[in-house]
Amino acid sequence: MPMAAADIERMIKEALPDATVEIKDLAGDGDHYAATVVSEAFRGKSRVQQHQLVYAALKGKMGGVLHALALTTSAPA
């Protein structure tokens, strides 16, 4: 069963309340998304650490209900 973009955004914002989150359904199938996440929590962290924070927010859904997520992360400018 696909995961709704709104659910992805909600889960990320629950873990990173200050985050600006933009989700795009890449294939229109609810399984392949791109997400851009901007959060102060990323400041000073490596790209890998930033992505780990987002994956942790998704609580094990990545690779299961959420098949693919192209992720872009950054701290606010």
Backbone φ and ψ of 35, nearest 5°: -130, 135
Could you report the per-residue pLDDT of 40-53, keeping only the tens digit for each? 999 999 999 999 99
Domain that holds residue 20: 5-74
The CA distance from 34 to 43, in Å, is 21
Q: Provide the pLDDT confidence category of residue 60 given band limits of 50, 70 and 90.
A: confident
The CA distance from 69 to 77, in Å, is 24
Q: State pTM to two decimals.
A: 0.91
What CATH number has the domain bearing residue 48?
3.30.300.90
Q: Considering its fold, how many domains does the chain have in total?
A: 1
What integer is the mean pLDDT of 10-18? 97
